[in-house]
Amino acid sequence: MMLFTEVRGLPVVLPAEAGPLGTVTSLTVDPASGTVSHLRIRGGRLRRETALAWDAVHTIGPTAVRLRAATAPDTVPPRHDLLGRRVLTEAGTEHGTVLDVAFAPETGRVLTVFTTRGEVPADRMLGLGDYALVVRAG
């Protein structure tokens, strides 16, 4: 298990390359599947923010994110960061703000969303937009 806050800022490297491609700025989540869909990176050889599909990730460790091979940037999905996002139930009841997210680095599967009002299991995520993460009431 890893936390989003542990991944943010890690260098992203390619096999047999000298320097980092960039650093992780955020992870994009697909609430419908409950998985990380993209890795957002910036800096290094990439001057602007770029999104790479999760499939390009080989391993994530405490010191770096390693990609499988040279990967073309993916179509950048809308930027809806989970960290700091307001959390609402489907009925509109406030459930705090997202502090962190636990996920399986091998698969990208989201395990738990940690909010200012407690933990929310990933299977309760319904949608994510500009305004809030919407979860099923528990």
Residue 130, pLDDT above cutoff 70: yes
Cβ atoms within 10 A of the Cβ of 2, count?
A: 17
Dist. CA 114–CA 98, nearest whole Å: 6
Q: What does the radius of gyration of the chain's CA atoms come to, in whole angstroms?
A: 15
Q: How many helices (H) and strands (E) does the chain have?
A: 1, 13
Q: What is the CATH number of domain 86-135?
A: 2.30.30.240
Percent of the chain with pLDDT over 70: 88
pLDDT tens digits, residue range 69-105?
A: 766 665 566 667 899 999 999 999 999 999 999 999 9
**2-67 and 86-135 agree in CATH topology:** yes
pLDDT tens digits, residue range 96-126?
A: 999 999 999 999 999 999 999 999 999 999 9
> Structural domain boundaries of the chain?
2-67, 86-135
Residue 45: its pLDDT value, please? Answer: 61
Residue 97's SS3 state is: strand
CATH class of 2-67: mainly beta
Comparing C-alpha atoms, which of 138, 31, 33, 30 is closest to residue 91?
Answer: 138
Tokens 């459930």 correspond to 95
Instruction: Quote the DSSP letter at residue 17.
Output: -
Residue 15, pLDDT above cutoff 90: no
pTM, 2 dp: 0.88
